[in-house]
Structure 1
Amino acid sequence: MANGKKRIMFACGSGICTSTAVRKKVEAMLDENGYKGQYEITQYKISECPAQSVNYDFLVATTMAPAGLKCPYVNGIPYLTGRGTDVPNKAILELMAAE
């Protein structure tokens, strides 16, 4: 954790549209669970993630995990569908609690 904050990557095909929607939902969930101010978020195109991943604690993406990823991956699709968000929420909260 850099500066005491978790570094989180968000990604989709373009690095803009669906990752922004998912980011807002995850930020709200993290803040509701007491993590406000304890994370830094950067958005990328999924193609940029393998090279950048060494600098991050985990990736939340609306695509499949890219080959060569050096950090844990969380499937962000449930945030778009509104179904099954308990699974990525649990994974993200576990990653936030991990040292």
Structure 2
Amino acid sequence: MKKILVACGAGIATSTVVTNKVEELIKENNIQATVEQCKIAEVKSKQSDADLIVSTTILPTTYDIPAIVATAYITGIGMDKLDQKILDELTK
């Protein structure tokens, strides 16, 4: 079972949109994963239990696990490429 952290500045608005998109993506592709919404400031302390970070904001630091900036889900531009990038990380 994979674990995905979805983070934005406050852990409320844009991360909710991205969480819904990621949950839909993993369901459509039969990937066993859980999605946890959080603030970007919390990611560093939560990364040890996770497999992937999907962020709606610029990452303030580097992490021990792969991190993807998901602004395409907010803008609507390049969503297919973002979907594939997330799937590639989850199926490694």
TM-score with structure 1 setting the length: 0.85
Deviation at 1:87, TM superposition (A): 2.2
2:76 aligns with 82
- Alignment partner of 1:11 is 2:7: yes
Q: What are the ranges of 5 or more consecutive residues in structure 1 without an aligned counterpart?
A: none
CA RMSD in angstroms comes to 1.2
Whole-angstrom CA distance in 2 between matches of 1:52 and 1:26: 18
- Alignment partner of 1:40 is 2:34: yes
1:71 aligns with 65
Q: What are the ranges of 5 or more consecutive residues in structure 2 without an aligned counterpart?
A: none
Secondary structure at the aligned position of 2:54 is classed as strand
1:20 aligns with 16
1:41-94 C-alpha deviation (Å, 9 max, x unpaired): 111110111121122101001011231422111111100111101222111111
Contact 1:15–1:44 (CA under 8 A) maintained in structure 2: yes
- Alignment partner of 1:53 is 2:47: yes
Instruction: Point out 4+ residue stretches in structure 1 off by more than 4 angstroms.
Output: none
1:91 aligns with 85
Count residues in correspondence.
Answer: 92
- Alignment partner of 1:31 is 2:27: yes
One-letter amino acid of the structure 2 residue matched with residue 72 of structure 1: P
